[in-house]
């Protein structure tokens, strides 16, 4: 798509927003209702697109994308009228009598740039928040998931007038042309490197950004943990979508006393969940493209001791792999893995593990398996990270009460539930005054007036 066409689209969205229709809550609810009906009508099409792009099974497609999208839609439709109401309280003494009013208003036209690994969920969830808040939007799906991108464009055409929400398909050229436009807010999900570029481009227009990035998310297992439960839930979180999940456990930090038992249980759990030959399991999934397949093969080749990791180069599939006795210096510990490879490191004192995590960039997620309340409190209070779970993995994303987002290099801003509405909303502050006045605020100032001002404002 040419730059002129993209500029025309952005002008159209701004003109539609200026008409004021999206400011009306019934309009927003109707739009969310149309989107929900489209998602329900296209459930089989969504599953087929995810199978084509990523090899996802129908159950995983519904559990991780369609079902969570529908839950987000229900949550927004149920609470939107309350969220959109101004918040009013009596003004403070300096402004008596008066009202302090906080008015939620949409930013205007949002750019939503989505990734390929969960192409429906990570496109539609931020779009739901943008529409609920009253914005217009331009949506840019990933070119790495072409079947999903085409279906998203079709669904959005069915659900919204083109001036309200539209899809721009394409690759890097379209991304660059979009980022050269002056949007009112940008929501980006993707890599740290591209996130930096998005922020640089947004700075030219002073556009606020929400960045959902990634990083190396640790999973800490203490000696007193329920190892059977830990193995089951680590395997689930690590191998969901063939490991291509931004909050997947990226590496294990295991108490040395239970390392051998835990790795044995993880191996058994992989066989139980995926069978003795995972590459023959049609529900296992695949790596998104050859480029990422080769990158992961390079990480495997650089590991000192590997269990599993069989490859099918023609189908871009890699069996689950444990990188046993991993070193912080080996290739798999130098970048986010984003695949079915799990390095295993050990520690002798918990503080060693916490220092290791704190010495690295702040992770998007952290997982802790322990029975100790004291350890849980210590880790939650002293280690910075975006969000996570105690005695589970991944599942914090499924609760709309818990905002999802990173910190530091793993991102800025958050969404899910009401936080999605807030992310796409500017809260306008308004003071409403009556006619009663305090003369001490006006010139000429006097010693008595000075004493009264100090009494009021101390």
Is residue 26 domain-resident? yes
Query: Which member of 65, 72, 212, 269 is catalytic?
Result: 212
Between 28 and 304, residue with greater pLDDT = 28
Q: Which helix (H) or strand (E) holds 175?
A: helix 172-179
Shared-domain flag, residues 34 and 137: yes
Is residue 456 very low, low, confident or very high in pLDDT (cuts 50, 70, 90)? confident
89 SS3 class: strand
Is residue 439 very low, low, confident or very high in pLDDT (cuts 50, 70, 90)? confident
Shared-domain flag, residues 14 and 51: yes
Is residue 439 domain-resident? no
Is residue 437 domain-resident? no
Is residue 454 very low, low, confident or very high in pLDDT (cuts 50, 70, 90)? confident
* Percent of the chain with pLDDT strictly greater than 70: 100
Between 95 and 294, residue with greater pLDDT = 294
Task: Give the model confidence (pLDDT) of 184-231 as tens digits.
Answer: 999 999 999 999 999 999 999 999 999 999 999 999 999 999 999 999
* pLDDT value for 458: 73
Shared-domain flag, residues 170 and 243: no
Query: Which member of 64, 136, 242, 246 is catalytic?
Result: 246
Q: Is the pLDDT of residue 298 over 80?
A: yes
Shared-domain flag, residues 271 and 286: yes
Shared-domain flag, residues 44 and 167: yes
Is residue 308 domain-resident? yes
Is residue 182 domain-resident? yes
**Token pair recorded at residue 246:** 């931004």
Distance from C-alpha of 13 to C-alpha of 2, rounded to nearest angstrom: 17
Shared-domain flag, residues 139 and 7: yes
Q: Is the pLDDT of residue 113 over 90?
A: yes
Alpha helix ranges (H) inside 275-417: 290-301, 350-358, 373-382
* pLDDT value for 434: 86
Is residue 447 domain-resident? no
Q: Is the pLDDT of residue 429 over 90?
A: yes
Is residue 246 domain-resident? yes
Task: Give the model confidence (pLDDT) of 337-385 as tens digits.
Answer: 999 999 999 999 999 999 999 999 999 999 999 999 999 999 999 999 9
Is position 5 annotated as part of the catalytic site? no
Contacts of 43 (CB under 8 A, 6+ apart): 62, 66
Q: Is the pLDDT of residue 1 over 80?
A: no
Q: What is the CATH number of the domain that holds 425?
A: 3.40.605.10
Is residue 266 within 8 A of residue 233, CB to CB? The reply is no
Is residue 201 domain-resident? yes
Is position 219 annotated as part of the catalytic site? no
Task: Give the model confidence (pLDDT) of 398-414 as tens digits.
Answer: 999 999 999 999 999 99
**Residue that terminates a domain, selected from 405, 422, 447:** 405
Domain count, the chain: 2
Q: Chain centroid to CA 169: how far?
A: 21
Shared-domain flag, residues 131 and 19: yes
Shared-domain flag, residues 40 and 114: yes
**Which range of residues forms the domain containing residue 423?**
3-213+410-430
Q: Is the pLDDT of residue 80 over 80?
A: yes
Question: For the chain, what is the radius of gyration of the CA atoms?
Answer: 25
Shared-domain flag, residues 368 and 284: yes
Task: Give the model confidence (pLDDT) of 9-21 as tens digits.
Answer: 999 999 999 999 9
Shared-domain flag, residues 307 and 426: no
Distance from C-alpha of 281 to C-alpha of 262, rounded to nearest angstrom: 24
Shared-domain flag, residues 92 and 20: yes
* pLDDT value for 449: 85
Q: Is the pLDDT of residue 49 over 90?
A: yes
Shared-domain flag, residues 236 and 171: no
DSSP result, 112-143 = EE--SSSTTHHHHHHHHHHHHTT-EEEEE--T
Q: Which of 231, 192, 226, 191 is nearest to 344 (CA)?
A: 231
Within a 10 A sphere around the Cβ of 48, how many other Cβ atoms?
16
Predicted TM-score (pTM) of the model is 0.94
Q: What is the CATH number of the domain that holds 260?
A: 3.40.309.10
């Amino acid at each position: 798509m040419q730059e002129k066409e993209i500029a025309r689209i952005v002008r159209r969205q701004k003109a539609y927003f200026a008409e004021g229709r999206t400011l009306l809550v019934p309009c927003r609810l109707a739009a969310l209702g149309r989107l929900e009906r489209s998602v329900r009508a296209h459930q089989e099409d969504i599953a087929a697109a995810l199978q084509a792009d990523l090899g996802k099974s129908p159950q995983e497609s519904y559990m991780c994308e369609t079902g969570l999208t529908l839950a987000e839609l229900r949550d927004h439709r149920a609470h939107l009228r309350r969220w959109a109401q101004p918040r009013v309280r009596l003004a403070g003494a300096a402004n008596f009598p008066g009202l302090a009013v906080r008015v939620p208003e949409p930013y205007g036209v949002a750019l939503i740039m989505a990734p390929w690994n969960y192409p429906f969920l990570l496109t539609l969830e931020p779009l739901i928040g943008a529409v609920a808040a009253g914005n217009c939007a331009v949506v840019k799906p990933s070119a790495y998931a072409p079947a999903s991108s085409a279906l998203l464009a079709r669904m959005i055409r069915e659900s919204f007038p083109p001036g309200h929400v539209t899809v721009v398909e394409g690759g890097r050229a379209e991304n660059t042309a979009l980022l050269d436009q002056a949007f009112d807010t940008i929501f980006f999900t993707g890599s740290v490197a591209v996130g930096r570029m998005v922020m640089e481009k947004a700075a030219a227009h002073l556009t606020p950004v929400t960045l959902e990035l990634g990083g190396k998310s640790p999973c800490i297992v203490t000696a007193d943990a329920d190892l059977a439960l830990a193995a089951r839930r680590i395997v689930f979180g690590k191998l969901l979508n063939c490991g291509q999940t931004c909050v997947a456990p990226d590496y294990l930090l295991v108490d040395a006393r239970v390392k051998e038992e835990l790795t044995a249980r993880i191996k058994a759990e992989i066989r139980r969940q995926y069978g003795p030959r995972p590459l023959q399991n049609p529900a296992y999934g695949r790596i998104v493209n050859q480029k990422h397949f080769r990158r992961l093969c390079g990480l495997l080749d650089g590991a000192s001791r590997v269990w599993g990791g069989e490859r099918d180069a023609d189908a871009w599939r890699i069996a689950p792999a444990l990188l046993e006795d991993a070193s912080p210096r080996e290739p798999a510990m130098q970048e986010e893995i984003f695949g079915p490879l799990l390095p295993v490191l050990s520690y002798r004192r918990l503080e060693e593990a916490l220092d290791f995590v704190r010495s690295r960039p702040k992770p998007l997620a952290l997982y802790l398996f322990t029975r100790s309340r004291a350890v849980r409190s210590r880790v939650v209070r002293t280690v910075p990270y975006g969000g996570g779970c105690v005695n589970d993995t991944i599942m914090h994303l499924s609760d709309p009460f818990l905002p999802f987002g990173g910190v530091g290099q793993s991102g800025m801003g958050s969404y899910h539930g009401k936080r999605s509405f807030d992310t796409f909303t500017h809260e306008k502050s308004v003071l409403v005054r009556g006619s009663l006045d305090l003369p001490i605020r006006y010139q000429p100032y006097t010693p008595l007036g000075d004493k009264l001002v100090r009494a009021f404002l101390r």
